[in-house]
Amino acid sequence: MIRGFRGATTVKKNTEEQIVNSTKRLLEKIINENQISPEDVSHIWFTVTTDIDAAFPAKATRLIDNWQFVPVMCAQEIPVPDSLPLCIRIMLTAETNKKQEEVRHVYLNDAVSLRPDLELTKKRDTM
């Protein structure tokens, strides 16, 4: 079955270092929580709010061993008024045997406010 694995994080500043490091941390947590191997991944979409433009978050994928062949794409979020600033979102699509309710979506830093109903967002994870 093909499933989507979601996640989001925030950065404190619009810098390449923070964007890439925060994205890598989020992506690694999604991978580990869901036991995802790169061979099972169809593609990964990364989106950013309009206040992030210092780096492509997809660059973080290339820093993870054996993930260099996974197709990635970046896009900008719709600029909804009063939305969470400095936010990076991920939609990873992969083959899995997990049931939908077994998928572990990951939200870190201020992004925990996006999905407070999910188990992994119960405890605030900070930078």
- Which residues are catalytically annotated? 6, 62, 74, 77, 89, 107, 115
Annotated binding site: 6, 89, 107
Annotated binding site for prephenate: 6, 89, 107
For residues 83 and 13, what is the distance between their CA atoms, to the nearest angstrom? 16
Return the sign of the alpha-carbon dihedral for residues 72, 110, 5, 29. Answer: positive
Q: What's the CA dihedral at 52, 54, 59, 60 to 10 degrees?
A: -70
Q: List all residues 6 or more positions away from 83 whose beta carbon is below 8 Å from its beta carbon.
A: 49, 77
Q: Answer yes or no: are the C-beta atoms of 86 and 53 closer than 8 Å.
A: no
Token representation of residue 52 = 């992030």
